[in-house]
Structure 1
Amino acid sequence: MSVDKVDKKLLGPVLAGFFIMGFCDMVAPITGRIAAEFPAERQAAVSFLPTMVFLWFLVLSTPVAALMNRWGRKATALVGYGFTVVGLMVPFAAGADCALGWYFAGFGLLGIGNTAIQVAVNPLLATIVPGERMTSYLTVGQIFRNTSLLLLAPIVTGLVALTGSWRLLLPIYAGLTVLGGVWLQLTAVPEPAQTGRAASLADCFRLLKNRAVLLSTLGVASFIAADVGIGFLSVRLIDNPSSILTTTGFYACRIVGTLIGAWALVRISDVKYLSWNMAGALALCVALLFVRNEAAIYAAVGLLGFGMACVFATFYAVATKAVPGKANEVAGLMIMAIAAGAVSGPVCGAIIRASGNPHLGMLFVAACVGYMLWASVKLKMKN
């Protein structure tokens, strides 16, 4: 099935899916708020909360993709919305002084829902835009997702000022998810005829024999791990209640970086642009190990957001071009690689507890960025 032009009536509810997709990424920065509710001996357990979200990408991405062949893309997205609403409401309904287990249960359901949304919404977009414009509209989708994350800190700050607690964020996000689901349900989105079979786990892993695919898949895993790590650490680098505003700067600069990257990548080799950005990002990670000035931290975290803007799209494109005709298998690998975000909270939390210095957690982010720089250089030499 192919389309000649974009139907704006169909585009709105699908792009809303990218906005809702960003809700799972609030877990890493909000973990700092949750940690304040529990004693010191529970902090190690609290650091595993982001793991409960990202673990499901490894476990469920391929089964959900297979089920989507029977359910359809729209229905799969709606199932994901349902899990998202329940996951957000479980810890809220449990109350302000609820046990940590309620957060684990809720964020686990949130991760399951987000896996289904990510599996469904990207190909759903492909059914309503022309193939030659797919990359540009995927970029637009990422802007919607980053906007969702950009609004997190202002919403939390406003809620704390008005109510003394951040927890109303959960029903607000749940309500927005319901609205997005109703909008999508009421929109007749065309579904492609299902042909062939779903990509299996074995089909996906066979592609790792291709060096470019292997480097790119590990690149996406490193990107997600670094991204979650920055979200986990940024609110801890500044010791005051407004520290969550570092996430606003990070995602605002990422949106700017996405727009500039979309312009630059038409004119510059994608892996060359990636290597430049990763070299700058690595320098910023090293700087954040030592910088203590609040303004400098805000600036460095924001510039990191700019540098990380086009990483996923570049690695995805390189892997797809390396194995033409295997787009489904490449997509399966990329979705599974998102599970790397599960390690960030525990690793960064362990470094902070061992050293007593949150800045040293940037060593983990620097290692991830260092790999991406090395991979981009190798891919540039190969090209």
Structure 2
Amino acid sequence: MQTKNRGAVAGIFFGYFIMGLVDVVGISANYIKADFSLSDSISSFLPLIAFISFAFLAVPSGLLMNRIGRKNSVLVSFIITLIALIIPVAGYTFPAMLMTFALVGIGNTVMQTSINPLLADVVSENRLTSSLTLGQFFRSISSTIGPILVTSILLLTGNWKNVFPVYAGITAIATLWLWKSNITERQTNRNKSSYLSTLQLLKDRHIRILFLALFFFVGIDVGMNVYVPEFLQTHCKLPLQQAGLGSSLYFVARIIGSLIGAVMLLRYASGRIYLYTMAAGVITFTVMMSLPELHTALISIFIIGLVCANVFSILLSLALQHRPDKANEVSGLMIMAVSGGAIIPLLIGVVNDLTGGSTGMYILLICFLFLLSSAIYLRKSK
């Protein structure tokens, strides 16, 4: 299904930009850790709180779509995100930041569950993977701007927390834009789904492999965002303000990779691209951990960003195309896998505390190896 309403399409892509605001958790966690003198284990609870809602609320968000529609679900997610961003303006305390990150996570859960099926309503099926990749491009722009904006605001105002009212204003604009957009949603079987029936989709081996792959991929994505600054501090002796830009380097690479992917996915099979990029990811990450000089680390971070750029959209589109009759439920189930962004960074933080270094980053190598294995399975099953 396609629409001539370009304003609606633009409004949805603006939503992907708002989706990227959750990645401010990464750089914010480093500043909050310094402000409140937190350990790695304690500071890792910030991304845990932001992403754990995906484990519990993604499937209910899919069921919510069945009741109120996809566009209304996205609007609800924007409003929750807006409330979250206003909290730090009222008062900067550790409990307040926990509440902020929790609400950002809840809003992002509803947003990611509903915005992808909403995009599927306004693009043709043969362009879905490419369109989802383009959506991730806008998300990557937001994620890239985050650390740069935080550092710039810190230098200009002396207070990094002023980033929150800026983000709140952007979210308010996105909310009004989408609210004004006219979108005709594809009809689905809205009364035949439940939490249990959605989870039963995991009995399908194809869906199960895609679910686990997405779980480990988001663990890589959030783990890179949160721990690249610390990795550069411990291995390359960079101060936090410079090391924090390592996250931006990762997301700049994701922007470039998303643009390249949006074109390549129109010409080449997504499974083949997934296989080759994951093989490159395993090799590059191994090199980064083995040769942690500054130039090697920066080049490796950039390459990892490139190979990760299209993974989310590939996995999600493969799942949606496998069961188009259950698009809302599949979307909720797959977004549930985003909880990997809570579990994997927590494990990294615990290992780092136990070893006193950045040894926990090797957990991301294990994640890459699983993704490569899943890519091989998907190619063989095809």
Contact 1:157 1:242 in 2 (8 A): no
Question: 1:114-160 CA distances to partner (integer Å, 9 max, x unpaired)?
Answer: 11212222222233333443333222211111110111122112112
Structure 2 match to 1:376? 375
Structure 2 CA distance for partners of 1:129 and 1:279, relative to 1, 3 Å: closer
Structure 1 match to 2:37? 39
Structure 2 CA distance for partners of 1:204 and 1:195, relative to 1, 3 Å: closer
The structural deviation recorded for 1:17 is 0.6
Matches within 5 A, 1:1-383: 2-3=1-2, 5-40=3-38, 42-95=39-92, 98=93, 100-193=94-187, 195-197=189-191, 199-239=193-233, 240=239, 241-323=241-323, 325-358=325-358, 360-383=359-382
Distance in structure 2 (CA, Å) of the matches to 1:128 and 1:216: 24
The structural deviation recorded for 1:363 is 0.6
Higher helix share: 2
Q: Tell me the TM-score normalised to structure 1 length.
A: 0.91
The structural deviation recorded for 1:194 is 5.5
Structure 2 CA distance for partners of 1:314 and 1:43, relative to 1, 3 Å: closer
Aligned-pair identity in percent equals 31
The structural deviation recorded for 1:321 is 4.5
SS at match of 1:167: helix
The structural deviation recorded for 1:211 is 2.2
Distance in structure 2 (CA, Å) of the matches to 1:73 and 1:157: 35
Structure 2 CA distance for partners of 1:268 and 1:77, relative to 1, 3 Å: closer
Contact 1:199 1:328 in 2 (8 A): no
Distance in structure 2 (CA, Å) of the matches to 1:284 and 1:272: 18
The structural deviation recorded for 1:307 is 0.8
Decide which moves more: 281-290 or 260-269.
Answer: 260-269
SS at match of 2:182: coil
Contact 1:73 1:121 in 2 (8 A): yes
Distance in structure 2 (CA, Å) of the matches to 1:127 and 1:321: 13
Structure 2 CA distance for partners of 1:280 and 1:55, relative to 1, 3 Å: same
Distance in structure 1 (CA, Å) of the matches to 2:301 and 2:183: 39
Decide which moves more: 346-355 or 289-298.
Answer: 289-298
Give the root-mean-square deviation of aligned CA atoms: 2.0
Q: Tell me the TM-score normalised to structure 2 length.
A: 0.92
Contact 1:65 1:198 in 2 (8 A): no
Question: 1:14-35 CA distances to partner (integer Å, 9 max, x unpaired)?
Answer: 2111100111122123211110
Contact 1:288 1:362 in 2 (8 A): no
Contact 2:61 2:332 in 1 (8 A): no
Distance in structure 1 (CA, Å) of the matches to 2:89 and 2:356: 31
Decide which moves more: 18-27 or 290-299.
Answer: 290-299
Partner AA of 2:337 in structure 1: A
Distance in structure 2 (CA, Å) of the matches to 1:156 and 1:182: 25
Contact 2:136 2:313 in 1 (8 A): no
Contact 1:6 1:130 in 2 (8 A): no
SS at match of 2:35: coil
Structure 2 CA distance for partners of 1:133 and 1:290, relative to 1, 3 Å: closer
Question: 1:150-198 CA distances to partner (integer Å, 9 max, x unpaired)?
Answer: 1112211211211223111111111110111122223333344564426
Contact 1:89 1:171 in 2 (8 A): yes
Distance in structure 2 (CA, Å) of the matches to 1:21 and 1:290: 34
Contact 1:62 1:199 in 2 (8 A): no
Structure 1 segments unaligned to the other structure (5+ residues): none
The structural deviation recorded for 1:266 is 4.1
Contact 1:13 1:183 in 2 (8 A): yes
The structural deviation recorded for 1:72 is 2.5
The structural deviation recorded for 1:36 is 0.4
Decide which moves more: 42-51 or 152-161.
Answer: 42-51
Equivalenced residues, count: 376
Distance in structure 2 (CA, Å) of the matches to 1:195 and 1:43: 45
Contact 1:212 1:318 in 2 (8 A): no
Structure 2 CA distance for partners of 1:328 and 1:193, relative to 1, 3 Å: closer
The structural deviation recorded for 1:66 is 2.0
Structure 2 CA distance for partners of 1:273 and 1:140, relative to 1, 3 Å: closer
Distance in structure 2 (CA, Å) of the matches to 1:305 and 1:157: 21
The structural deviation recorded for 1:91 is 2.7
SS at match of 1:26: helix
Distance in structure 1 (CA, Å) of the matches to 2:193 and 2:310: 26
Partner AA of 2:374 in structure 1: A
